[in-house]
């Protein structure tokens, strides 16, 4: 059911270069919703119940109809609703179970992006949930407070499932985050902001181009939490925006035209200290928490500026010339005071810390058009075998002049260097996904603490979802030192033996 692309990757880039700007589908230079008159939808906090000390959530993937535009019914997918899903929230040290039920007409899966957990609970392509089945992963939250998210990961269909609307946030808390001087009133001054771009056809239906052209579908409509032209009322001096690029292909460069913001957290949690920035670049899958200062009675808009994609060819075709207003903030005439952002490190900080001196293994990953180290994803092949307890350096480089976004499951990594230089402040915190500027070497430091399983792999892949679906993914297992990797089943999405329902 996947596309049969006549042109992929570099071939399509060459075609684009010849075709010229006017013929590029999805290429826009500026899109301004004239009116920001729709109140921002805030995903509800998911209800949970505690059973034998375990916090139990339920999510049902389903199809439905969403009115992105008044009076226009768009067919969409969502969790427990027609589009996106509720926000899951849990604290460090808690045991959680999520009952994932698939009410779609085809297999899907739910991956807990950024979560440290056993591979069989990870929700990758080896944990597909059949239509009508319920999957019940359970694990202990054992990592710092962070803005994580969840989304499907069925091999070959991830782009479509996410694009149709299957995604949500998973917020983690810990002692440091609870005690922090940071806005933390969910939906009031601590606001989830899932940014996505879409193409709506003339009938108002979601359009996913199937010609395989780079870098995947770039939309000319931007929505936040599924709201087009959204505004958020602000009633405090500072507001915390938990930014998630939930798009399938587009890299956003988010900021405000009239003020700086304080970056306080990246993918895996809080930075050492706030960093003042004009804007932050987010590739698909990346997150950033920013604090925005507001004056009484004023209005401003979060904007996506023309993105610096760092040496890609035909940058306009990759969306680099596009600019969008994203979200309007409207301050009340009187604002409640907010503290200057500040926090102490957590009780677990020393244990969590990564040390370059501990790294005994260096692996190299070269990303080209759709392959990693010259190989295309094979569900039956283990690409890397990692010893439990080991600290490793992964040297990752895109060797083609096109955008990629590198994501590693199971761990949060630290960027040691980019072409030998230390990372900029916005890339110095905990990360699980990183935009790769072409032809630069990113040295990533990570540690694989536990959860050995020679038979069930974790994934590493490009988070530009067309690339992932077309094979830009590999598998690693964590084993006891000396143990050999097993052989995972090679079946894939839509295969004959995909029965993974765990009733
Ligand atoms: Cu890619």
Model confidence pLDDT, tens digit, residues 199-246: 999 999 999 987 778 999 999 999 999 999 999 999 999 999 999 999
What's residue 489's pLDDT?
A: 86
CB of 245 closer than 8 Å to CB of 197: no
- pLDDT grade for 4, boundaries at 50, 70 and 90: very low
Provide the CATH number for the domain formed by 355-498 in this structure: 2.60.40.420
Least Cα distance to 284 among 259, 309, 321 occurs for 309
- pLDDT grade for 13, boundaries at 50, 70 and 90: low
Distance in angstroms (rounded) separating the CA atoms of residues 302 and 257: 8
Q: What does the mean pLDDT of the chain come to?
A: 92
How many angstroms is it from 310 CA to the middle of ligand 1? 14
Vertex 118, ends 480 and 104: CA angle to 5°?
145
Q: What are the backbone dihedrals phi and psi of residue 244, each rounded to the nearest 5 degrees, phi first? A: -130, 125
Distance in angstroms (rounded) separating the CA atoms of residues 457 and 7: 31
Least Cα distance to 388 among 501, 294, 482 occurs for 482
CB of 383 closer than 8 Å to CB of 87: no
What's residue 202's pLDDT?
A: 94
What's residue 213's pLDDT?
A: 84
**pLDDT tens profile 20-40:** 333 344 445 555 556 899 999
How many angstroms is it from 156 CA to the middle of ligand 1? 14
Compute, in degrees rounded to 10, the torsion defined by CA atoms 486, 489, 492, 496: 180
Whether residue 73 has pLDDT greater than 90: yes
What's residue 430's pLDDT?
A: 98
How many angstroms is it from 463 CA to the middle of ligand 1? 6
Whether residue 476 has pLDDT greater than 50: yes
Distance in angstroms (rounded) separating the CA atoms of residues 434 and 421: 16
Task: Say whether domain 10-34+182-336 belongs to CATH 1.20.120.140.
Answer: no
| Domains in the chain: boundaries | 10-34+182-336, 38-179, 355-498
* Cis preceding-peptide flag for 56 (omega within 30 of 0): no
What's residue 20's pLDDT?
A: 39
Distance in angstroms (rounded) separating the CA atoms of residues 409 and 393: 15
What's residue 251's pLDDT?
A: 97
Distance in angstroms (rounded) separating the CA atoms of residues 451 and 293: 42
- End-to-end Cα separation, the chain, in angstroms: 27
How many angstroms is it from 405 CA to the middle of ligand 1? 6
Whether residue 450 has pLDDT greater than 80: yes
What's residue 490's pLDDT?
A: 82
**In terms of DSSP bridges, do strands 299-304 and 324-336 run parallel, antiparallel, or are they unpaired?**
antiparallel
Distance in angstroms (rounded) separating the CA atoms of residues 225 and 70: 16
Choice among 20-29, 155-164, 375-384 with the minimum mean pLDDT: 20-29
Please state, in angstroms and as integers, the Cα–Cα distance from residue 443 to each residue in 310, 371, 384, 390, following that order. 17, 19, 17, 16
Please state, in angstroms and as integers, the Cα–Cα distance from residue 466 to each residue in 107, 152, 315, 387, following that order. 18, 14, 18, 31
Task: Give residue 218's region: left, alpha or beta (phi > 0; psi -120 to 50).
Answer: beta
How many angstroms is it from 370 CA to the middle of ligand 1? 7
How many angstroms is it from 356 CA to the middle of ligand 1? 27
Distance in angstroms (rounded) separating the CA atoms of residues 65 and 81: 9
Whether residue 126 has pLDDT greater than 90: yes
Distance in angstroms (rounded) separating the CA atoms of residues 340 and 328: 23
Distance in angstroms (rounded) separating the CA atoms of residues 32 and 341: 32
Residue with tokens 């915390």: 240
Q: Which of the pair, 501 or 8, is modelled with greater confidence? A: 8
Q: Strands (DSSP E) along 27-120, which ranges?
A: 38-39, 49-51, 54-69, 72-79, 88-91, 95-102, 111-113
**What is the sign of the dihedral through the CA atoms of 442, 445, 451 and 454?**
positive
What's residue 140's pLDDT?
A: 98
The mean per-residue pLDDT over the stretch 65-76 comes to 96
What's residue 25's pLDDT?
A: 44
How many angstroms is it from 216 CA to the middle of ligand 1? 10
How many angstroms is it from 418 CA to the middle of ligand 1? 18
What single DSSP character describes residue 437?
-
Using DSSP, state whether 453 is helix, strand or coil: coil
Which tokens go with 273?
A: 């200290």
How many angstroms is it from 9 CA to the middle of ligand 1? 9
Using DSSP, state whether 393 is helix, strand or coil: strand
Q: Assign domain 38-179 to its CATH superfamily.
A: Cupredoxins -  blue copper proteins (2.60.40.420)
Whether residue 2 has pLDDT greater than 50: no
Vertex 47, ends 42 and 53: CA angle to 5°?
140
How many angstroms is it from 393 CA to the middle of ligand 1? 21
How many angstroms is it from 458 CA to the middle of ligand 1? 18
Least Cα distance to 408 among 109, 147, 108, 114 occurs for 114
Whether residue 380 has pLDDT greater than 90: yes
The mean per-residue pLDDT over the stretch 116-132 comes to 98
How many angstroms is it from 280 CA to the middle of ligand 1? 20
Least Cα distance to 130 among 153, 101, 150, 152 occurs for 101
How many angstroms is it from 328 CA to the middle of ligand 1? 31
Whether residue 255 has pLDDT greater than 50: yes
Whether residue 501 has pLDDT greater than 80: no
pTM, rounded to two decimals: 0.93
Domains 10-34+182-336 and 38-179 share a fold: yes
CB of 176 closer than 8 Å to CB of 271: no
Using DSSP, state whether 396 is helix, strand or coil: strand
How many angstroms is it from 368 CA to the middle of ligand 1? 8
Residue with tokens 């995604």: 167
**pLDDT tens profile 303-340:** 999 999 998 988 999 999 999 999 999 999 999 999 99
Q: Find how far residue 360's CA is from the centre of its chain.
A: 29
Question: What's the count of helices (H) and strands (E) in the chain, helices before strands?
Answer: 5, 32
How many angstroms is it from 116 CA to the middle of ligand 1? 23
Distance in angstroms (rounded) separating the CA atoms of residues 466 and 213: 9
The mean per-residue pLDDT over the stretch 30-58 comes to 90
What is the chain's Cα-based Rg? Answer: 21
What's residue 35's pLDDT?
A: 84
């Amino acid at each position: 059911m996947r596309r049969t692309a006549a042109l992929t990757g570099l071939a399509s880039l060459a075609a684009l270069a010849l075709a010229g700007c006017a013929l590029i589908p999805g290429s826009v230079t500026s899109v301004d919703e004239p009116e920001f008159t729709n109140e921002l939808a805030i995903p509800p906090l998911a209800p949970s119940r505690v059973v034998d000390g375990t916090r139990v959530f339920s999510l049902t993937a389903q199809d439905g109809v969403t009115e992105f535009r008044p009076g226009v019914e768009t067919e969409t997918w969502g969790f427990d609703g027609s589009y996106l899903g509720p926000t899951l929230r849990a604290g460090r040290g808690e045991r959680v179970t999520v009952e994932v039920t698939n009410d779609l007409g085809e297999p899907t899966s739910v991956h807990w992006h950024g979560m440290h957990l056993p591979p069989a609970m990870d929700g990758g392509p080896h944990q597909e949930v059949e239509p009508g089945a319920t999957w019940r992963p359970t694990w202990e939250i054992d990592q710092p407070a962070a803005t994580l998210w969840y989304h499907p990961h069925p091999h070959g269909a991830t782009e479509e499932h996410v694009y149709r609307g299957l995604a949500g946030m998973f917020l983690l808390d810990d002692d440091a985050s609870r005690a922090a001087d940071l806005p933390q009133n969910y939906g009031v001054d601590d606001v989830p902001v899932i940014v996505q771009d879409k193409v709506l056809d003339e009938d108002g239906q979601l359009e996913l181009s199937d010609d395989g052209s780079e870098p995947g579908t770039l939309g000319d409509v931007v929505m936040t939490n599924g709201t087009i032209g959204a505004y958020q009322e602000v009633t405090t001096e500072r507001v915390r925006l938990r930014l998630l690029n939930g798009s399938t292909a587009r890299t956003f460069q988010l900021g405000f035209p009239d003020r700086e913001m304080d970056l306080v957290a990246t993918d895996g949690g809080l930075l050492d200290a706030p960093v003042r920035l004009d804007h932050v670049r987010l590739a698909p899958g990346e997150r950033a928490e920013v604090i925005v200062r507001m004056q009484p009675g004023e209005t401003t808009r979060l904007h996506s500026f023309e993105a610096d994609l760092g040496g890609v060819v035909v940058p306009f075709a990759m969306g680099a010339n596009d600019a969008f207003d994203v979200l309007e903030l409207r301050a009340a005439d009187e604002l409640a005071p907010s503290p200057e952002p500040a926090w102490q490190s957590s009780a677990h900080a020393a244990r969590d810390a990564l040390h370059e001196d501990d790294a005994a293994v260096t692996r190299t990953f070269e990303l080209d058009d759709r392959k990693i180290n010259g190989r295309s994803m094979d569900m039956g092949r283990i690409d890397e075998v990692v010893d439990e307890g080991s600290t490793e350096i992964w040297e990752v480089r895109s060797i083609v002049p096109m955008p990629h976004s590198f994501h590693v499951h199971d761990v949060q990594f630290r960027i040691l260097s980019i072409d030998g230089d230390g990372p900029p402040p916005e890339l110095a915190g905990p990360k699980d996904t990183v935009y790769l500027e072409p032809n630069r070497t990113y040295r990533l430091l990570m540690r694989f603490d536990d959860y050995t399983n020679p038979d069930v792999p974790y994934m590493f892949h490009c988070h530009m979802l067309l690339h992932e679906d077309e094979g830009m993914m590999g598998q690693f297992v964590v084993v006891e030192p000396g143990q050999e990797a097993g052989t995972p089943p090679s079946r894939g999405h839509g295969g004959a033996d995909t029965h993974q329902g765990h009733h």
